Structure 1
Amino acid sequence: MTQKRPLILVTNDDGITAPGIRALISVMTEIGDVVVVAPDSPQSGMGHAITINSALYCDAVVIDKNAPQQEYSCSGTPVDCVKMASRQLLTRKPDLCVSGINHGSNSAINVIYSGTMSAAVEAGIEGIPAIGFSLLDYAMDADFEPSKKFVKTIVTNVLKNGLPKGVVLNVNIPKLPEKDIKGIKICRQANAHWMEEFDKRTNPMGREYYWLSGTFINEDKGEDTDEWALHNGYISIVPTLFDLTAHHFIQELNNWSLT
């Protein structure tokens, strides 16, 4: 008896035609049967947003007529895409959900804002092992070839070993040639944040508007963080929880005079 190929759900936040997701699809088709459900337009920075006040559209599309995978273009957010896939489009639960490959970093605090990682988290909430992949290159013509070997290694290991309930993987890949990537490091999330600024401007009609910018500040000097790994030529993997409870503070909070 031949072993059934795993069913892999592929999504992203840069849109279904983005080069990053096309690279990810090409690797996943080597491993399993692939279904793609991805946004019809860029949804970067959407975090865990869902569509509740407007209609959702989800259409079967053919982007590469020679490719074996099924693909659906969704009008919603990355999280909407995962919900649509698991609740409406798929006839069985996927063995794995992969999100990405994102154009740009999702290390450190960026995981909070990331549509890429929120799609992975949503899959994890639904009991689907999930991985978010990001390449530290924001260009739409970014070279994803050096990432492919490492993506395949990580995915095959997750399929073989599984993930604990409530854990998804946040994988970030430095912008380097394959020969210069030193390996893979298991990391913690760096204590880093954005110092935001708003650039105040005026449009041609005289109305003021604002453009968000900012500086990324890493206050963490540890050599076990994702930021350290990436700056030193390693791929970082951070096992990420979506239970936001501050368990260590529960006992102290119980000692407050709240009643």
Structure 2
Amino acid sequence: MKVPATEKRPLILVTNDDGIEAKGVHELAKMIEDLGDIVVVAPDSPRSGQSSALSVGIPLRLNLIEHYRNISFYRTNGTPVDCVKLSMNQLFDRRPDLLLSGINHGSNSGVSIVYSGTMGAALEGCIIGIPSIGFSLTSHEPDADFSPCREIVRESCKKVL
């Protein structure tokens, strides 16, 4: 089940804490699809407030649910940090060039950074040596407009890559 390593294009891991069905993670993947090979690994349901939590005592599942163009979407029953660890241990033959977490529905600022699953995943990437960025939008609307994030996301990713 390993994602084949290609040295020609950057490998970008995308995750979140709002779950695989959240609009923000899909919009984020679309915003960067031309920058590399995109692999989205996200929880099967919202895991907000999970910080750097790991799942213990339960078997973790990882299922490919969709693939189009150069974006693959995987769902897991774990936390955002589990998404990072599962990706590294079960999907990839090489270290991703970039880890993105979000786009979160709601702000991750101030003390919220400590509790945020979105930021927990980004911090996990940093801990294991992957350049990582967490993105948020200050809207909790399920159908929020993420278009104002597009240029910030793209410029940030290009600079890191």
Q: TM-score range by the shorter chain?
A: over 0.9
Determine the C-alpha separation between the residues in 1 that align with 2:34 and 2:106: 25
| 3-state SS of 1:61 partner | strand
Shift of 1:66: 4.0
In structure 1, what is the equivalent of residue 13 of structure 2?
A: 9
Amino acid at match of 2:86: M
Which residue in the other structure is 1:24 paired with? 28
Over alpha carbons, which structure has the higher Rg?
Answer: 1
Say which of 20, 39, 46 aligns to 2:43: 39
Matched, 1:126 2:128: yes
How far apart are the structure 2 equivalents of 1:100 and 1:107? 13
Instruction: Find 1:140's aligned residue among 115, 139, 142.
Output: 142
> Secondary structure in 1 aligned to 2:142?
coil
Alignment deviations for residues 101-131 of structure 1 (CA, whole Å, 9 cap, x no partner)? 0000000100000000000011111110000
- Helix, strand or coil at the partner of 1:137: coil
Q: In structure 1, what is the equivalent of residue 4 of structure 2?
A: none
Higher strand share: 1
> CA–CA distance in 1 between the matches of 2:146 and 2:38?
19
- Deviation per residue, 1:182-227 (Å, 9 max, x gap): xxxxxxxxxxxxxxxxxxxxxxxxxxxxxxxxxxxxxxxxxxxxxx
1:142-200 Cα deviation digits (max 9, x unpaired) = 100111111101111111xxxxxxxxxxxxxxxxxxxxxxxxxxxxxxxxxxxxxxxxx
Q: Shift in Å at residue 69 of structure 1?
A: 1.1
Q: CA deviation at 1:55?
A: 1.2
- The separation in 2 between residues aligned to 1:66 and 1:124, in whole angstroms, is 28
What are the Cα deviations for residues 51-105 of structure 1, in whole angstroms up to 9, with x where unaligned?
011111111111xx64431221010000000000011111111000000000000
**Whose RCO is larger (CA < 8 A, sep 6+)?**
2
Rounded Cα–Cα distance in structure 1 between residues aligned with 2:32 and 2:118: 17
- Structure-2 residue corresponding to 1:83: 85
Q: Give, in whole Å, the separation in 2 of the partners of 1:27 and 1:6.
A: 15
Secondary structure of 2:35 counterpart:
coil
Pick from 100, 103, 115: which aligns with 1:101? Answer: 103
What RMSD in Å do the two structures reach over aligned CA positions?
1.2
> What's the counterpart of residue 73 of structure 1?
75
CA distance, structure 1, for counterparts of residue 134 and residue 89 of structure 2: 21
Q: Does 1:158 align with 2:145?
A: no
Give the Å deviation of 1:15: 0.5
User: Which residue in 2 is equivalent to 1:202?
Assistant: none
1:27 Cα deviation (Å)? 1.3
Distance 1:76 1:39 in 2: 6
Runs of 5+ unmatched residues, structure 1: 160-259
The AA in structure 2 aligned to 1:47 is: S
Structure with a larger share of its residues in helix: 2
Structure 1 residue identity aligned to 2:148: P
